[in-house]
């Protein structure tokens, strides 16, 4: 039997497959399709202090090998998530939960982190400083290493759970960003969020998205995500969750060889809602084919010894 278990710091997951924030809601819709307990963990939809309706529609556009979204952090707000969404998820899911948190100020990140870290079964706080679809928050923290470090420090002070910072690929130097977060006390790094992009309707001669720009995700971004995970693995000593364009078991192994300790699956859930359990099954078969007994031994294996 292949051992698919992986470790994120002290946290053990039965397998490395985690649905990515924003593509899995709070789990309820997918629970109608399969037993969520098959998953390693779930990163729930981004939480903000106040409820948000998100951006105006259209806020999704198709692209070659991917999609653009400008959802804009639609969520019921911290109180409702704590009152309803998390208890509902706990009724059907017994594995560790990753709480994905967004904010428009450091105080907002701090308040959300402090309250969410007190909930058992939430084992990781994933601080999204990389949302490209909201004004005045999100990505502005994720493109400046000083601000990223400030958010990290502030959240670490109030959190009793490991803090993972979710980085934006929309920067010149991803390594600088990751190092700044590590030095500020981050327990791990999630990367990547979506890449800023746009499409124009040639009949209307106007941008397709009401927000004009959106975040590109899906298989189109896999090589970029892989490159960033590889580079960051070389520069930091904290675990990395690899995200971006993963569609199949082979992609998971590739991401882990680059340095990811676990992975998140995003846009693929929107194409095939059964994709996560399928990838878990395929992963066991693929490991056997590749003579891999312990999946965790693949982490960072592609790095040439210097």
**The only residue of 15, 41, 69, 117 in contact with ligand FMN, by rule CB under 6 A:** 69
Least distance between ligand FMN and beta carbon 34 (Å): 19
Of residues 90 through 149, those in contact with ligand FMN by CB under 6 A are 100, 128
The reply to whether 41 sits near ligand FMN by the rule CB under 6 A is no
Least distance between ligand FMN and beta carbon 203 (Å): 25
Cβ closer to ligand FMN: 22 or 137? 22
Least distance between ligand FMN and beta carbon 132 (Å): 9
**The only residue of 143, 159, 168, 193 in contact with ligand FMN, by rule CB under 6 A:** 193
Catalytic residue, from 112, 131, 181, 276: name it.
131
Say whether 131 is catalytic.
yes
- As a dihedral over the C-alpha atoms of residue 223, residue 228, residue 229, residue 231, rounded to 10 degrees, the angle is 120
Beta strand extents in the chain (DSSP E only): 6-8, 11-13, 17-19, 42-43, 60-63, 66-69, 97-101, 122-128, 163-166, 188-191, 195-197, 200-201, 206-207, 214-217, 240-243, 262-265
Please say whether the beta carbons of 263 and 280 come within 8 A. Answer: no
Least distance between ligand FMN and beta carbon 196 (Å): 12
| Dist. CA 151–CA 121, nearest whole Å | 23
Neighbouring residues of 154: CB distance < 8 A, sequence distance ≥ 6: 106, 109, 110
**The only residue of 8, 45, 81, 208 in contact with ligand FMN, by rule CB under 6 A:** 45
Catalytic residues: 131
Q: Which residues bind ligand FMN (CB under 6 A)?
A: 20-23, 45-46, 69, 71, 73, 100, 128, 166, 193-194, 217-218, 221, 243-246, 265-268
């Amino acid at each position: 039997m292949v051992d698919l278990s992986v470790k994120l710091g002290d946290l053990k997951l039965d397998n490395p497959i985690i649905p990515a924030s924003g593509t899995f809601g709070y789990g309820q819709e997918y629970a109608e399709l399969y037993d969520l307990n098959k998953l390693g963990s779930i990163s729930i939809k981004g939480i903000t202090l106040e409820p948000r309706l998100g951006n105006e529609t259209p806020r999704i556009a198709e692209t070659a090998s991917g999609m653009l979204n400008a959802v804009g952090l639609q969520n019921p707000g911290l109180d409702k998530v704590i009152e309803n969404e998390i208890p509902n998820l706990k009724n059907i899911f017994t594995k560790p939960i990753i709480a994905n948190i967004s904010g428009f100020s450091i105080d907002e990140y701090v308040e959300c982190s402090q309250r969410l870290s007190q909930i058992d079964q939430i084992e990781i706080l994933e601080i999204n400083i990389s949302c490209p679809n909201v004004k005045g928050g999100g990505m502005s923290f994720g493109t400046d290493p000083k601000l990223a470090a400030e958010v990290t420090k502030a959240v670490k002070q109030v959190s009793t759970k490991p803090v993972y910072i979710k980085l934006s690929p929309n920067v010149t130097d991803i390594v600088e960003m990751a190092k700044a977060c590590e030095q500020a006390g981050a327990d791990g790094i999630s990367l990547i969020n979506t890449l800023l992009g746009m499409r124009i309707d040639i009949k209307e001669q106007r941008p397709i998205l009401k927000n004009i720009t959106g975040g590109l995700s899906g298989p189109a971004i896999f090589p970029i995500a892989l490159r960033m995970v590889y580079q960051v693995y070389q520069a930091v000593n904290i675990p990395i969750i690899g995200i971006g364009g993963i569609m199949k078991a082979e992609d998971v192994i590739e991401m882990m060889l680059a340095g990811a300790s676990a992975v998140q699956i995003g846009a693929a859930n929107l194409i095939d809602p059964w994709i996560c359990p399928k990838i878990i099954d395929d992963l066991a078969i693929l490991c056997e084919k590749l003579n891999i007994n312990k999946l965790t031994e693949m982490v960072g294996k592609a790095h040439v010894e210097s």
